[in-house]
């Protein structure tokens, strides 16, 4: 579809688009360049190395909880006997715990407002 300019934007990047925060949405729309971050600045705003450690820690806790609730999954994984439904559960666990870890890392070790403003500016700019 050559003329289709619709792009899917992940829910996690625009869910606070109408929220009251320190920066107004009008300012972000009018001057998105002020809020767009470089890759290095975005990494720092997300919490840097501590943010990555928080993400990995939450993912590890999520899988530990999954294996504690369903010990057979660990046995199936070791024996390479996982069915497709179990792979879906692993994928869902990984996705949910990654998103929770990302939010926790940005809130605890970074600047969540800068990250939010970056993604809002990216959404409006692109």
- Stated pTM of the model: 0.74
How far, in Å, CA of 17 to CA of 27, rounded? Answer: 12
Q: What is the pLDDT of residues 51-85, one digit of tens each?
A: 999 999 999 999 999 999 999 999 999 999 999 99
Domains of the chain by residue range: 23-125
Q: What is the pLDDT of residues 25-60, one digit of tens each?
A: 778 778 888 888 999 999 999 999 999 999 999 999
Instruction: Provide the pLDDT for residue 26.
Output: 73
What is the helix (H) or strand (E) element at residue 36, kind and residue range? none
Instruction: Provide the pLDDT for residue 20.
Output: 57
CB-CB contact of 13 with 125 (8 Å): no
Instruction: Provide the pLDDT for residue 116.
Output: 86
């Amino acid at each position: 579809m050559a003329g289709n300019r619709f792009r899917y934007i992940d829910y996690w990047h625009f869910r606070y688009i109408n929220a009251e925060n320190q920066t107004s949405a009008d300012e972000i729309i009018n001057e998105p360049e002020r809020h767009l971050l470089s890759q290095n600045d975005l990494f720092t705003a997300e919490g840097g190395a501590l943010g990555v450690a928080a993400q990995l820690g939450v993912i590890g806790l999520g899988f530990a909880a999954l294996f504690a609730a369903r010990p057979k999954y660990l046995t199936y994984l070791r024996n390479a006997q996982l069915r497709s439904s179990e792979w879906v559960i692993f994928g869902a666990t990984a996705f949910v715990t990654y998103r929770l870890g990302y939010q926790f890392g940005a809130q605890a070790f970074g600047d969540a407002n800068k990250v939010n403003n970056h993604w809002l500016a990216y959404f409006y700019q692109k």
